[in-house]
């Protein structure tokens, strides 16, 4: 299990790398895959809204690119003083790759963690059986 204090420090160090010229809110995320590896990302805003992407999407993309397809834990931190949680779209992205009971940890400005499972954050997640999808 990844240590929240270590991840909190790592994410704080990543915040200045976020590209947030419109909102001014920097967000960093780390996803822990089932094999124990941690993949990080930051938010990247774009003037052609909604073409930017959230830190969670960046971290998930890094994990998928590296090979892991199961997420067991997600950590989120921002430049705001309190706790932040993934948006609805990112909750769905997490859900689709999450192991059952995947923990989402929001890290406040002082590093204090608050924890929820992805099922708590997205109780009525959109579920699609991949066997029902037809290729084009």
CB 56 within 8 A of CB 86: yes
Q: What residues are annotated to the active site?
A: 56
Quote the CA–CA distance of 6 and 19 in Å, as a whole number: 23
CB 126 within 8 A of CB 25: no
CB 27 within 8 A of CB 77: yes
């Amino acid at each position: 299990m990844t240590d929240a204090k270590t991840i909190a420090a790592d994410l704080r160090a990543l915040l200045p790398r976020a590209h947030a010229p419109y909102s001014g809110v920097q967000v960093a995320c780390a996803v822990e895959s089932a094999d124990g590896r941690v993949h990080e990302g930051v938010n990247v805003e774009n003037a052609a809204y909604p073409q930017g992407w959230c830190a969670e999407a960046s971290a998930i993309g890094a994990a998928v690119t590296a090979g892991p397809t199961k997420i067991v834990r997600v950590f989120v931190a921002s430049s705001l003083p309190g706790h932040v949680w993934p948006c609805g779209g990112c909750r769905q992205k997490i859900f689709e790759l999450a192991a059952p009971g995947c923990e989402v940890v929001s890290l406040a400005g002082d590093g204090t963690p608050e924890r929820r499972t992805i099922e708590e954050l997205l109780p009525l997640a959109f579920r699609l059986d991949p066997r029902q999808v037809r290729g084009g």
